[in-house]
Amino acid sequence: MSESEHRNHRRPAFFSPSALEAHGPAYDPTEQIHVAHETAQALVHAGRAAADPAVTQKLVALVDDIGLSTLAELWSQRPARSLPGALWRLYVLREWVQRAPDEASREYAAGIRFTGPNHAVAGAAEPPGPEEMSRVIDAVLRGVFEGDLAVALERASAFCRVVSAGRADISSGGDTAQQAANMLTMADDLTACARLWRAGALD
């Protein structure tokens, strides 16, 4: 990107780590709720308004820049079926795939035979190796900013269902079984968020 293009597409101020981290525990609960929803809406709007692949990629990789803990402070306490709640779950999914690509690949591959239609919706390539996992999650997040957000949420939901099935199949019980159930709950929430977005009610 040239220097002039960089100036034209400078990251909005609310994306800077210092600005986001300023919205910390000092805020009262009502203000924290307002900030969470306002930043989520601003993030989606900025990405969709820019219509620039470079901006979209910055937003996809937002956690790489500011850290997951910063987004956790903003969004993790909001309801799962809200815009900040949905975005939080998408970035958590991406972070998991980035940190544990072999695990993600193994669990996804194990789940395909139980959830073929969801595998098709998720859009992962075959064989679903670690690199394919990273590509499909990044594609899902790009869809939030440059495609149909509801479709992006449905793809993420389908991805979660495949992983949940695979995790349950190869788990040895205990915590892993609970994690499979949690992934299925995430899938249900993301599907609900897609419906809310289409109805103009995801805020």
23 pLDDT band, cuts 50/70/90, is very low
As for how many domains the chain has, the answer is: 1
Q: Nearest-5° angle of CA 131, CA 147, CA 81?
A: 90
Residue 203 lies in a domain: no
| 114 three-state secondary structure | coil
45 pLDDT band, cuts 50/70/90, is very high
Q: What is the CA radius of gyration of the chain?
A: 17
Residue 138 lies in a domain: yes
Residue 182 lies in a domain: yes
Treating both helix axes as pointing N-terminal to C-terminal, what angle do 130-146 and 149-170 enclose, rounded to 10 degrees? 150
Answer yes or no: is pLDDT of 115 > 50: yes
Residue 106: both structure tokens together: 């193994």
Residue 173 lies in a domain: yes
pTM: 0.84
Q: Which domain holds residue 24?
A: 3-198
Residue 19 lies in a domain: yes
**Integer Cα distance of 156 and 130 in angstroms:** 16
pLDDT in tens, 47-104: 999 989 999 999 999 999 999 999 999 999 999 999 999 999 999 999 999 999 999 9
Residue 50 lies in a domain: yes
